[in-house]
Amino acid sequence: MNYKLLHIFRNTPFGRETFLQSLYFCKTIKAYPVVYIPKSDKFLMYFSNDAVQVDLDHSYLNSPETAKAHAEALFEEAGINPMFYEPKNFTASTLPDVSTNFDYLCCPRSVSDLSSKIGLGHIGPKVRRIIKHATFPVLISSPVFKSWTGISVFFGGSENAVKSLTLGLKIAMASGLPLNLYTLIEKNGEDYYREVVQKRNMESLVDKYVTKWHFYENEAFDTMLYEVPHDSLIVLGAYGHGIIKELLLGSKMEIIQSTVTNNLLIVGPNCTISLQ
Amino acid sequence: MQTIKNIYRAIYYRLFRLDDRLLLIVAGSLAGICSGLAAVALRLSLESVIEWLHPFRHYWWAFVLPAAGALLSSLYLEKVSKEGAGHGVPEVIYAVSRYGGLLRLRSSYSRLISSFLTISSGGSAGPEAPVVMSGSAIGSNIAKFLVLNDRQRITLVGCGTAGAISAIFNAPIAGLVFSIEVLLGEWKFVNIIPIAIAAVAGAQISQAIIPEQVLFNHQPFNTMAADILPCLCLAVLTAFTSVFFTKSLRKIGGFAKKSSLPLWSRAIIGGCLVGVIGIHMPLVLGEGYHFIQTMISGSFSMGLFLTFVAIFAKIFATAMTLGWGGSGGIFAPCLLIGSLTGVAFHKTLFFLLPSAGIASEGAYALLGMTGLISGVMQAPLTGIFLIVEITGGYETILPLILVSSISATMSHYIEPASFYLKDLIEKGQFMRPGTDARILSDLSLNEIIETNYTKVSENMVFRDFIEIIKLSQHNFFPVIEDETQIYKGIIQIRTIRKYALEPGMYDMVFLNQIMDTEVATASLEDDLQDVLDMMDLNNMDSIPVVENGRFVGMIQKTRILDLYRRELIMQTNI
Amino acid sequence: MELSIFDLSKHLGVVPDTIERWVRQGKLPVSKTGSNYRFRASELQKWASKHNISLNISDKKVPEKKNEAGIPLSHAVQNGGVYYDLLGEDVKSVLNASLERISKIPKDFKPDLLDRLMEREQALSTGIGNGIAIPHPRVPLGYLNEPLVAVCFLENPVDYQAMDQQPVKVLFLILCPDLKFHLHLLSALSFCLRDKSFVQFLNSCPDPGALIEKIDVLQNLNPL
Query: Which among A48, A159, A272 is the nearest to C24, CB-wise?
Result: A48
- For residue A241, give the nearest of A155, A128, A123 by alpha carbon: A128
Q: Pick the most confident of A241-245, B162-166, C182-186.
A: B162-166
pLDDT tens, residue by residue, C10-68: 888 888 888 888 888 888 877 766 567 778 888 888 878 877 777 766 655 455 544 54
- Per domain, the residue ranges of chain A are 4-140, 150-267
Distance between C22 CA and the closest CA of chain A, angstroms: 12
Q: Do B566 and C25 touch (CB under 8 A)?
A: no
Q: Which CATH architecture has domain B2-209?
A: Orthogonal Bundle (1.10)
- In whole angstroms, what is the distance from residue B434 CA to residue B441 CA? 11
Selected residue with higher pLDDT from B132 and B278: B132
Chain C interface mutation, best of A46, A47, A48, highest count of C Cβ atoms under 10 Å: A48
Distance between A94 CA and the closest CA of chain B, angstroms: 6
pLDDT of B296 > 90? The answer is no
- The answer to whether the CB of B46 falls within 8 A of the CB of B120 is yes
- Work out the mean pLDDT of chain B and round it to a whole number: 84
**CB of A90 within 8 Å of any CB in chain B?**
yes
Please indicate whether the domains covering B2-209 and B225-426 agree at the CATH topology level.
yes
Q: What is the ipTM of this complex?
A: 0.82
- Rounded mean pLDDT of B157-163? 94
**CB of A3 within 8 Å of any CB in chain B?**
no
DSSP assignment of A186-242: -SS-HHHHHHHHHHTT-HHHHHHHEEEEEEE-GGGHHHHHHHS-TTEEEEEE-----
- Rounded mean pLDDT of A238-244? 55
- Find residue B543's DSSP bridge partners: B555
Q: Do B83 and A41 touch (CB under 8 A)?
A: no
How would residue A113 be classed by pLDDT, with cut points 50, 70 and 90? low
Fold classification of C73-221 (topology level): Mannitol-specific EII; Chain A (3.40.930)
pLDDT of C69 > 60? The answer is no
- In whole angstroms, what is the distance from residue B544 CA to residue A187 CA? 54
pLDDT of B437 > 80? The answer is yes
pLDDT tens, residue by residue, B333-385: 999 999 999 989 988 888 888 776 677 788 888 889 999 999 988 888 888 88
How would residue A276 be classed by pLDDT, with cut points 50, 70 and 90? low
Chain A residues with CB under 8 Å of B106 CB are 53
Nearest CA in chain C to A272: C35
The whole-number pLDDT of residue C57 equals 66
Number of Cβ pairs closer than 8 Å across A and C? 4
- The answer to whether the CB of A29 falls within 8 A of the CB of A175 is yes
Q: How far is CA A188 from the centre of its chain?
A: 28
- The answer to whether the CB of A181 falls within 8 A of the CB of A165 is yes
- The answer to whether the CB of B228 falls within 8 A of the CB of B399 is yes
pLDDT tens, residue by residue, B513-543: 888 888 888 888 888 888 999 999 988 888 9
**CB of B150 within 8 Å of any CB in chain C?**
yes
Chains that touch B (3 or more CB pairs under 8 A): A, C
The whole-number pLDDT of residue A111 equals 61
Distance between A101 CA and the closest CA of chain C, angstroms: 12
pLDDT of C217 > 50? The answer is yes
- Rounded mean pLDDT of B473-482? 87
The whole-number pLDDT of residue C118 equals 86
Q: How far is CA B131 from the centre of its chain?
A: 14
Chain C residues with CB under 8 Å of A272 CB are 35
Q: Do C53 and B569 touch (CB under 8 A)?
A: yes
Chain B interface mutation, best of A89, A97, A98, A130, highest count of B Cβ atoms under 10 Å: A89
pLDDT tens, residue by residue, C141-185: 878 888 888 888 888 888 878 777 888 888 888 888 887 788 888
First to last CA, chain C: 40
Chain A residues with CB under 8 Å of C34 CB are 159
- Find residue C168's DSSP bridge partners: C158
- The answer to whether the CB of A202 falls within 8 A of the CB of A165 is yes
* Percentage above 70 pLDDT, chain B: 95
pLDDT of A151 > 60? The answer is yes
**CB of A94 within 8 Å of any CB in chain B?**
yes
For the domain spanning A4-140, the CATH number is: 3.40.50
HEC profile for B295-351?
Answer: HHCCCCCCCHHHHHHHHHHHHHHHHHHHHCCCCCECHHHHHHHHHHHHHHHHHHHHH
Q: Do C35 and A48 touch (CB under 8 A)?
A: no
**CB of B467 within 8 Å of any CB in chain C?**
yes
Q: Do C12 and B566 touch (CB under 8 A)?
A: yes
Count CA atoms closer than 13 A to A221's CA, side-chain side.
11
Query: Which among A50, A81, A99 is the nearest to B102, CB-wise?
Result: A50
DSSP assignment of B82-118: ---SS-SHHHHHHHHHHHTT---TTHHHHHHHHHHHH
pLDDT of A249 > 50? The answer is no
Nearest CA in chain A to C21: A48
Distance between C90 CA and the closest CA of chain B, angstroms: 36
The whole-number pLDDT of residue A122 equals 57
Count CA atoms closer than 13 A to B80's CA, side-chain side.
13
- Per domain, the residue ranges of chain C are 2-50, 73-221
- Rounded mean pLDDT of B254-277? 82
Chain A residues with CB under 8 Å of B102 CB are 46, 49-51
The whole-number pLDDT of residue B196 equals 93
**CB of B492 within 8 Å of any CB in chain C?**
no
pLDDT tens, residue by residue, B82-135: 776 666 788 888 888 888 888 888 888 888 888 888 888 888 888 888 899 999
The whole-number pLDDT of residue B244 equals 92
**CB of A231 within 8 Å of any CB in chain B?**
no
- In whole angstroms, what is the distance from residue C20 CA to residue A272 CA? 12
Work out the number of other CB atoms within 10 angstroms of the CB of residue B236: 15
- Rounded mean pLDDT of A152-156? 83
pLDDT tens, residue by residue, B230-263: 888 999 999 999 999 998 988 888 887 777 777 7
Q: Do B91 and A92 touch (CB under 8 A)?
A: yes
- In whole angstroms, what is the distance from residue B380 CA to residue B370 CA? 8
Query: Which superfamily does CATH assign the domain made up of A150-267 to?
Result: HUPs (3.40.50.620)
Fold classification of B440-573 (topology level): CBS-domain (3.10.580)
Selected residue with higher pLDDT from A139 and B428: A139
Distance between C216 CA and the closest CA of chain B, angstroms: 20
Selected residue with higher pLDDT from A268 and A72: A72
Q: Do A46 and B99 touch (CB under 8 A)?
A: yes
Q: Do A159 and C34 touch (CB under 8 A)?
A: yes
- The answer to whether the CB of A142 falls within 8 A of the CB of A117 is no
The whole-number pLDDT of residue B436 equals 84
- In whole angstroms, what is the distance from residue C154 CA to residue C82 CA? 11
The lowest-confidence range among A166-170, B147-151, B250-254, B500-504 is: B500-504
The whole-number pLDDT of residue C34 equals 58
- Per domain, the residue ranges of chain B are 2-209, 225-426, 440-573
Query: Residue type for A6, please?
Result: L
Q: Which residues of C are catalytic?
A: 136
**CB of C145 within 8 Å of any CB in chain B?**
no
* Percentage above 70 pLDDT, chain A: 87
Fold classification of B225-426 (topology level): Clc chloride channel (1.10.3080)
Number of Cβ pairs closer than 8 Å across B and C? 50
The whole-number pLDDT of residue B12 equals 66
Query: Which among B84, B98, B99 is the nearest to A95, CB-wise?
Result: B84
pLDDT tens, residue by residue, C124-137: 888 887 888 888 88
pLDDT tens, residue by residue, B29-64: 999 999 999 999 998 898 888 888 878 777 777 778
- The answer to whether the CB of B121 falls within 8 A of the CB of B53 is yes
Query: Which among A83, A88, A91 is the nearest to B91, CB-wise?
Result: A91
Q: Which residues contact B349 (CB under 8 A, 6 or more apart)?
A: B230, B356, B358
Distance between B106 CA and the closest CA of chain A, angstroms: 10
**CB of A41 within 8 Å of any CB in chain B?**
yes
How would residue B201 be classed by pLDDT, with cut points 50, 70 and 90? very high
- In whole angstroms, what is the distance from residue A232 CA to residue C36 CA? 32
Q: How far is CA A66 from CA A9, A14, A35, A85, in A?
A: 12, 15, 14, 17
Q: Do B149 and C18 touch (CB under 8 A)?
A: no
